[in-house]
Structure 1
Amino acid sequence: MPARRCPLSAETSADPAATLAATVGADGRYVPPWRAALLRAAPAIGLFAAARLLGLVVMALWAGHIDRQPRRILARAWDSDWYLLIADHGYGRVLRWPDGAVQSDLAFFPLYPGLVRAVTSVVPVTSGSAGLLISWTAAGAAAWGVYAIGERLHGRRTATALVLLWGLLPHSVVLSMAYTEPLLTAFAAWALYAVLTGRWLWAGALSALAGFSRPNGIAVAAAVIAVAGWTLWRAYRTPDGRSPDGRTPKGRALRGRGGWRIWTAAALAPTGWCGYVLYVGVRTGDPLGGYFAVQRGWTSKFDFGAGALRVVRDIVLRPTLLSLVMALLVVLVSLVLFVLLALDRPPMALLVYTGVLVLITVGGSGFFESKPRFLLPAFPLLIPAARALAKARPGTAAVLAIALAGLSFAYGAYLLTLSPIAL
């Protein structure tokens, strides 16, 4: 029986011959599509895992040299400690500072600590070990999702380069820590892939989980809603039957042939983020503004970049820390990469998702040194560079990869063992 094609796919369907080749093994036996996809992605995931493992070895050797415990650094550094305390004791921790600032753990979204608590309830491990297990698993799932998107858009070579570049970013050490960026990226990558392949219910559900994991997870919901709205609008405007591309039915057909899935995805996508924001608001006595008041206690607010510009001025005019200089460079490079991505005319889902992440990062104030970490889930920024790397000569590509690895490993060790400010 031939596979059914989703009538509302946001992208053209894969070539039937390629699909058949991907699901039939060398011995002629049927291979489930997910397993075939994983086998194709295995070399890229292996490169990603090797890069992160080597980075951990470098960090651990240096940490041992200065009498620091690598495992504690990975599991309990900075925000990791807040997440694991929530997992162990629930919400309720508040820090009050002499200047009047109040920092509440309600600023941290609940999915990651909830998963940590679930793991420790069934497996005899500490919350730190559970947090690392979840983060490492999520990083692997994210690498697979990044590969799947890259392969669908530009082929296997570019997809492999994309995964490798993502694993060798200067701040990619975060992907090996008990932090939430790996979890968000995993949900985001697969939600975007679901949109690209017309799996709307999966897109909505994964988007809701992304929004339940981190504040900037709302970028995934924005992408799902934007593509859903465009797909519905375009379908309703077509003449009776199908549009010129032969794929998008008219509004009447939408109601009878799966249009409800798009509506459901759009409605479901923001529920994770909105649900937690409303929960914090109700808990603090201000349903609509309570969460944002909590964030202001951490000096985090959206001010269209005014606060960030003040930090940039200080970085330029005064001696400062390496981590702040590197953060500024990463943000500037990310802006350039976003322009290149937009000029490449990617699918709407990727452009909206990446644009919202960049906007939140650049337009938000507070913790300037953390902005590169906030951009880690914005992997589509690397697509233009991955395409260039895939076209480069093998020798040139190898030299570039080695140089990036050296920077990533050395800077990651610095961030976790020498930098005096939060990651």
Structure 2
Amino acid sequence: MTEAMIDKQQKETLPENSSLKLLLLDDEEDIINALKRLLRNNYEIITFSKGCEAIAYLNENHVDIIMSDMRMPKMDGAEFLAHARDIIPNAIRLLLTGYSDMDSTVKAINDGGVYTYISKPWNNQDLKLTLEKASEHYLLKKEAKRLNEEVAKANKELEIFNQSLELKVAQRTKALQASTKKLKNTLQTQKELFFDVLDMMSATIEYRTGFSAGHSKRIAIQCKTVAKSLGLDDINCRRIYLCALLHEIGTVGLSDDLLQESTLGSGKLDDLLVTHPMIGAEIVGKVKRFAPLTDNILHQNENIDGTGLPKHLSGDDIPVGARIIRIVKDFDFLIAGKTNEKRMSITNAYAWMKERAGIWYDRNILNTFIDLLGNRESDDSEMEFSIGVEALKPGDKLLEDLILQNGNVMLKAGQEINSIMIDKLKEYERTHNTKVTLFIA
């Protein structure tokens, strides 16, 4: 193997956690020592007891993860992490804080771009798991940036040879076909990477569409639960789950302008409704293991009355997975769509979709889906629910951050809801004349 081949192989391999640099800041030496003992085998650790010294170090050196205590003299954790964000914006930032610091913690999350916070006293295993997830998140973002830089470079070269949007999409699709072929060969020899590849593709979709992390997974879980309730066998339920997870993969082949026009019910969407399912079906079909998924992805925008796209199928001629995906994804768009400026409450979304039952949507599947969302006492432990504040209960745990209209984070993913939070959410809805949608398990 030549030196160039070895260098390329090393660049294509993601680093282990042990190669990530972790900066620890705490004015208590005992805490620093405890963290070093806990984490020294997994990370390259740099420690400081003063914020000014840590900032001076960051100005001259790169680190991957920054963990700071909240309460410190002269410069608290919120101020330090805000400075750190300006110096190394791509680093993952975590905050050590006590329960009494919640106001300061929210400020640190908003001003310092904190990935998450860790409560004192911490549980060693929970802290290590949090850091592992943070590391995975950091490495995934880093790899996505590298891949997108390569795509951007390729697109810039392609612009020399084409000016039209159609040709640009064709060239991008060709590049994706080559990538999918390479992925197919990899899957044949390394089947154990199957679910890692799925996670990567989901992250690519989320990166391209701008949806929050977990958007595709939520739709996939809800689709699988609907399929199970309809009495479909395990193979079809799993297949529909995978189809829903990848139903937006074709968006990577769309132009930015076309992607921005994705408004449900718009009369200008023929190109979008036809193009991204066809690109997605073609991409997925190139992977032999994924070939059975193509019909559900291709026909996800068909209408039950035959007026949909791309083939104008109707009734039972539309694959059942496509009919399920159509209902679940449209509902998610109505209540939480990134490009939907007129988001609806849960109740209004139900009413809007029921008006189109038998026209756009399969009536039986729609009723099954609405019943599932309303039955939180079901035995399905995987189900993720989209609910309004009126259905929120103490003890519910958030799956996604609750972000206000001004962009601030009101509640963090993973928080357990209590009665005080519910009252505050109801007051927020009254004050701002709006409806809040939450995602819970």
Structure with more helix by fraction: 1
TM-score normalised according to structure 1 size:
0.27
Structure with more strand by fraction: 2
Relative contact order higher in (CA < 8 Å, ≥ 6 apart): 1
* Structure (1 or 2) with the larger CA radius of gyration: 2
TM-score normalised according to structure 2 size:
0.26
